[in-house]
Amino acid sequence: MRCAKHSLYGFAVPFFSPKKVSHLETTRIYNGKTMPNLETSSKKLHVIRTAINLFTTYGFHTTGVDLIVKKSEIPKATLYNYFHSKEGLIEMCIAFQKSL
């Protein structure tokens, strides 16, 4: 089994070189998924607080993503970038409520 290979510059490079992992990929949250960091941005917190308010007022099933986006004053793409789905947002809202 070969343990090293040569690069274009003539230096030996380990065959099983460790993958470079940025600090953004190393932080994990409660569900094991990687997140950019544990400190939530103020915009993300605003969305979570708005969603909690809407969920308590209208319920989970009645509150749509469009209403959350409208009340939070953010693009829909930003919401999906932060939470990936409505279910992900609900999970984060529950985790946020538990941390209080």
Q: Could you write out the three-class secondary structure of the chain?
A: CCCEEECCCCCEEECCCCCCCCHHHHCECCCCCECCCCCCCHHHHHHHHHHHHHHHHHCCCCCCHHHHHHHHCCCHHHHHHHHCCHHHHHHHHHHHHHHC
Q: pLDDT tens digits for 18-36?
A: 444 444 444 444 455 555 5
Residue 37 is predicted with a pLDDT of 52
51-74 mean pLDDT: 95
Looking at domain 42-100, its CATH architecture is Orthogonal Bundle (1.10)
72-98 mean pLDDT: 93
* 54 pLDDT tier (thresholds 50, 70, 90): very high
Using alpha carbons, list the distances in angstroms from residue 80 to 4, 53, 84, 90. Answer: 42, 19, 4, 12
Contacts of 65 (CB under 8 A, 6+ apart): 76, 79, 86
| 6 neighbors 13 (Cβ within 8 angstroms) | yes
Residue 75 is predicted with a pLDDT of 94
- The percent of residues above 70 in pLDDT, for the chain, comes to 60
More confident residue, 22 or 50: 50
Residue 29 is predicted with a pLDDT of 46
